[in-house]
């Protein structure tokens, strides 16, 4: 795919590329019948997150799932605003952010990449991470506290924080307050 970018003529290309290796999944997921985990993250990010940590729809209380869905939705909106107002965003990505569908896809891609980057079984293994062309070389793509905090909160909602490796900057003692706030929204 890198060849496509290098040989482009006219309009610049923007691509979201799946990882070269599939991460180990804690559930009985079959790639044959359901597609790839990467595709699931792009179409249904919370279901993909649950699948990654070994939960299926029958394992999750609907109130718990709705709380996690609200958290993810609010977070994606915040990340979208951060992308739209970034001064360091590659112009190619700036052009596509105007389309709501592509913006949603890009934000889900970012969520996928951040979740997989923190997922303990594949931590620090780039072959399990999706990539994009051009790269999103901006603060939003780093393992910032905002991404880690949301992933920590989602992990906590589902009782799966041990599935991820977080930096020392993410403070678990603030977690209960943040998750409890979701109940009042």
In terms of phi and psi (left: phi > 0; alpha: psi -120 to 50; beta: otherwise), the region of 160 is alpha
Alpha helix positions (H), the chain: 2-6, 31-34, 37-43, 45-52, 62-84, 91-96, 100-118, 145-157, 175-183
Q: What is the pLDDT of residue 8?
A: 52
Q: What is the pLDDT of residue 57?
A: 76
Burial class (CB in 10 A: 0-12, 13-18, 19+), 138: middle
The DSSP letter of residue 59 is: G
Q: What is the pLDDT of residue 24?
A: 87
CB 28: neighbour CB atoms within 10 A?
Answer: 8
Q: What is the pLDDT of residue 169?
A: 73
Distance between CA 61 and CA 106 in Å, rounded?
A: 29
CA-closest candidate to residue 146, choices 183, 112, 114: 114
Rg (CA), the chain: 17
Q: What is the pLDDT of residue 171?
A: 58
CA-closest candidate to residue 72, choices 170, 19, 149: 149
Q: What is the pLDDT of residue 177?
A: 44
Q: What is the pLDDT of residue 137?
A: 63
Higher pLDDT, residue 169 or 13: 13
Residue 145 has pLDDT above 90, yes or no: no
Q: What is the pLDDT of residue 20?
A: 92
- Per domain, the residue ranges of the chain are 29-183
Distance between CA 5 and CA 171 in Å, rounded?
A: 40
pLDDT in tens, 14-67: 899 999 998 988 766 554 345 689 999 999 999 999 999 999 878 899 999 999
Higher pLDDT, residue 120 or 143: 120
pTM > 0.75: yes or no: yes
pLDDT in tens, 59-112: 899 999 999 999 999 999 888 888 888 888 888 998 888 899 999 999 999 999
162-183 mean pLDDT = 64
Q: What is the pLDDT of residue 9?
A: 60
């Amino acid at each position: 795919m890198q060849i496509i970018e290098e040989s482009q003529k006219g309009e610049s290309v923007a691509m979201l590329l799946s990882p070269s290796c599939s991460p180990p999944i804690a559930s009985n997921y079959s790639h044959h019948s359901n597609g790839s985990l990467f595709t699931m993250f792009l179409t249904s990010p919370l279901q993909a997150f649950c699948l990654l940590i070994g939960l299926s729809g029958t394992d999750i209380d609907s109130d718990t799932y709705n709380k996690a869905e609200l958290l993810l939705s609010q977070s994606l909106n915040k990340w979208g605003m951060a992308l739209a107002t970034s001064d360091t965003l590659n112009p190619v990505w700036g052009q596509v952010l105007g389309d709501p569908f592509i913006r949603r896809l890009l934000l889900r891609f970012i969520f996928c990449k951040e979740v997989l980057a923190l997922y303990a079984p594949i931590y620090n293994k780039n072959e399990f991470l999706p990539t994009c062309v051009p790269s999103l070389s901006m603060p939003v793509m780093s393992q910032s506290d905002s991404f880690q905090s949301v992933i920590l909160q989602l992990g906590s909602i589902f009782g799966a924080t041990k599935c991820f490796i977080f930096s020392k900057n993410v403070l678990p003692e603030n977690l209960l307050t943040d998750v409890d706030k979701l109940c009042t929204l």
